[in-house]
Amino acid sequence: MKKHTISLYPLGKEIRVNDQTPLIDVLHEFGIEFLCGGKGTCGKCKVRLLDGEIFTNPAHIHKLDKLGFTKDWRLACMSNCTDDITLEIEQFNHIILADETEFEFTPGEGYGIAVDLGTTAVVVQLIDLRSAQVLAIETMLNPQIRFGADLISRIQACLDGNDGEMNRTIRSSIGTMIELMLKKHLVDLQQVVLVGNTVMQLIFSNCDVSPLSMYPFHTDNLGLKTFTPEELGWNFTVSKPIKFHASIGSFVGSDILAGIAATGIHQKEKYTALIDLGTNGEIVIGNREQTVCASTAAGPAFEGSNISMGMRAVTGAISSFSLDNESIIAHVIGNTSAKGICGSALIDAIAILRKLDFIGLFGEINSGADHLNLTGKINLTQKDIYEFQLAKAALAAGMTILCKKLSISPSDIQEVFIAGGFGNYINLEHVSDIGKIEVPEEKIRKMGNTALIGAKMFLFTGGTITEEILSKTTHVNLEGDPNFQDIYVDKMLL
Phi, psi of 224 (to 5 degrees): -60, 140
Nearer to ligand FES (CB atom), residue 35 or residue 323: 35
Q: Which stretch binds ligand FES (CB under 6 A): 43-51, 89-97, 356-364, 430-438?
A: 43-51
Q: Is 345 in the site for ligand FES (CB under 6 A)?
A: no
> What x/- string results for residues 266 through 285 when contact with ligand FES is judged by CB under 6 A?
--------------------
Q: Is 43 in the site for ligand FES (CB under 6 A)?
A: yes
Choice from 22, 31, 40, 310 touching ligand FES (CB under 6 A): 40
Query: DSSP per residue over 321-360, as a string?
Result: EEEETTEEEEEETTSS---EE-HHHHHHHHHHHHHTTSB-
> What x/- string results for residues 45 through 84 when contact with ligand FES is judged by CB under 6 A?
x-----------------------------x-x-------
Residue 211's Cα: distance from chain center in Å?
26
Nearer to ligand FES (CB atom), residue 12 or residue 37: 37
Nearer to ligand FES (CB atom), residue 36 or residue 224: 36
Which of 430, 387, 426 is closest to 301 using CA atoms?
387
Residue 325's Cα: distance from chain center in Å?
33
Nearer to ligand FES (CB atom), residue 38 or residue 211: 38
Which of 377, 359, 384, 375 is closest to 327 using CA atoms?
375
Q: Could you tell me the smallest distance in angstroms from the CB atom of residue 154 to ligand FES?
A: 36
Phi, psi of 396 (to 5 degrees): -65, -40
Contact in structure between 149 and 480 (CB atoms under 8 Å): no
CA max distance for the chain: 68
Q: Could you tell me the smallest distance in angstroms from the CB atom of residue 86 to ligand FES?
A: 19
Burial class (CB in 10 A: 0-12, 13-18, 19+), 155: buried
Nearer to ligand FES (CB atom), residue 25 or residue 303: 25
Alpha helical stretches, state H, 407-449: 428-433
Rounded CA-CA distance 259/291 in Å is: 13
Q: Which stretch binds ligand FES (CB under 6 A): 28-36, 104-112, 164-172, 377-385?
A: 28-36
Q: If binding means CB under 6 A, how many residues of this protein chain bind ligand FES? A: 13
Nearer to ligand FES (CB atom), residue 24 or residue 273: 24
Q: Could you tell me the smallest distance in angstroms from the CB atom of residue 134 to ligand FES?
A: 24
Nearer to ligand FES (CB atom), residue 79 or residue 272: 79
Q: Which stretch binds ligand FES (CB under 6 A): 30-38, 104-112, 133-141, 332-340?
A: 30-38
Query: Which residues lie across from 379 on neighbouring strands?
Result: 373
Rounded CA-CA distance 474/248 in Å is: 8
Choice from 11, 42, 152, 187 touching ligand FES (CB under 6 A): 42
Q: Could you tell me the smallest distance in angstroms from the CB atom of residue 61 to ligand FES?
A: 14
Q: Could you tell me the smallest distance in angstroms from the CB atom of residue 333 to ligand FES?
A: 16
Contacts of 133 (CB under 8 A, 6+ apart): 127
Q: Could you tell me the smallest distance in angstroms from the CB atom of residue 38 to ligand FES?
A: 5
Q: Is 264 in the site for ligand FES (CB under 6 A)?
A: no
Q: Which stretch binds ligand FES (CB under 6 A): 39-47, 49-57, 87-95, 431-439?
A: 39-47
Number of Cβ within a 10 Å radius of residue 400: 22
Q: Which stretch binds ligand FES (CB under 6 A): 36-44, 174-182, 323-331, 400-408?
A: 36-44
Q: Which stretch binds ligand FES (CB under 6 A): 42-50, 165-173, 273-281, 420-428?
A: 42-50
Q: Which stretch binds ligand FES (CB under 6 A): 32-40, 138-146, 390-398, 465-473?
A: 32-40
Q: Could you tell me the smallest distance in angstroms from the CB atom of residue 46 to ligand FES?
A: 7
Contacts of 449 (CB under 8 A, 6+ apart): 95, 96, 99, 116, 123, 419, 420
Phi, psi of 17 (to 5 degrees): -135, 160
Q: Report how far apart, in Å, the C-alpha atoms of 230 and of each of 184, 222, 227, 237, 456 are.
A: 22, 23, 8, 9, 23
Residue 269's Cα: distance from chain center in Å?
27
- Entry field: residues in the chain: 494
Choice from 38, 241, 264, 316 touching ligand FES (CB under 6 A): 38
Query: DSSP per residue over 269-288, as a string?
Result: SSEEEEEE-STT-EEEEE-S
Q: Which stretch binds ligand FES (CB under 6 A): 10-18, 37-45, 183-191, 352-360?
A: 37-45
Q: Could you tell me the smallest distance in angstroms from the CB atom of residue 114 to ligand FES?
A: 29
Q: Could you tell me the smallest distance in angstroms from the CB atom of residue 63 to ligand FES?
A: 7
Rounded CA-CA distance 190/243 in Å is: 12
Antiparallel, parallel or unpaired: β 189-196 and 271-276: unpaired
Nearer to ligand FES (CB atom), residue 60 or residue 268: 60
Choice from 8, 15, 21, 34 touching ligand FES (CB under 6 A): 34
Nearer to ligand FES (CB atom), residue 38 or residue 52: 38
Query: Which residues lie across from 371 on neighbouring strands?
Result: 381
Q: Could you tell me the smallest distance in angstroms from the CB atom of residue 88 to ligand FES?
A: 16
Residues that bind ligand FES (CB under 6 A): 34-36, 38-45, 75, 77
